[in-house]
């Protein structure tokens, strides 16, 4: 499989195991890629950094925007809107985190603002603003992280270019048969619709 998952896998193996693994990706243009905006978590930043992808270049090539959290609409009741931020709420004390105090006061009948009103990331998101988080986690502006929203149809070709530069190769075709080892059950080869047989030591299913 190709798409975002396939080319992320290919690029990662090619980058992290240079000269130790030969990467061969099989995908079919007949199947295509789901053309939707790709929603990510902050882990994607670490992935891109590990591959040496410059953030500005990545965002320009994939038409990405910054993402500060995930909004849940009509989750608890129709009309409700709650943002789960990529960051913290308030400040706790020792082993007791802030939300424990908040929950206890709420159960005791205290009038409190919605929890997501007590998050710097949520405040930025609701105002449609963004700033890079500060490195000092003791600062209010250092209490959040971020991810991206980008065009999946642009991210996969971008990753393909990087992976192929690092030695990954691609075959066009649809897998029609899987050959397994009779004793271990491991996959030893796959056969494409045109009869091509491709052997390997590790097969990663990114077909979705």
Active site residues: 67
> Which one, of 126, 125, 127, 121, lies nearest residue 140 by Cα?
121
64 closest CA partner among 98, 37, 102: 37
CA distance 151 to 119: 28
Helix axis angle, 3-16 to 43-50, nearest 10°: 50
Q: Per the structure block, which two tokens stand in for 91? A: 């400040």
Beta strands in the chain (DSSP E): 24-27, 37-39, 65-67, 69-73, 81-85, 147-151, 169-172, 175-180, 187-192, 197-199
């Amino acid at each position: 499989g190709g798409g975002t998952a396939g080319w992320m896998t290919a690029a990662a193996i090619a980058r992290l195991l240079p000269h130790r693994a030969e990467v061969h990706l099989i995908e079919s243009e007949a199947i295509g890629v789901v053309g939707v905006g790709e929603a990510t978590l902050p882990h994607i930043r670490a992935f891109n950094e590990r591959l040496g992808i410059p953030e500005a270049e990545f965002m320009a090539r994939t038409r990405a925007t910054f993402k500060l959290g995930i909004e849940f609409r009509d989750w608890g009741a129709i009309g409700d809107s709650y943002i789960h931020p990529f960051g913290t709420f308030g400040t706790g004390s020792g082993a007791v985190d802030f939300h424990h105090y908040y929950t206890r006061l709420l159960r005791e009948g205290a009038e409190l603002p919605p929890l997501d009103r007590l998050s710097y990331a949520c405040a930025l998101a609701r105002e449609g603003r963004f700033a890079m988080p500060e490195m000092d986690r003791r600062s209010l502006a250092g209490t959040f992280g971020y991810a991206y929203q980008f065009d999946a149809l642009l991210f996969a070709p971008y990753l393909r270019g990087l992976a192929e530069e690092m030695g990954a190769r691609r075959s066009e075709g649809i897998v029609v048969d899987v050959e397994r080892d009779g004793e271990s059950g491991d996959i030893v080869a796959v056969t494409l619709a045109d009869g091509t047989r491709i052997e390997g030591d590790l097969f990663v299913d990114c077909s979705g």
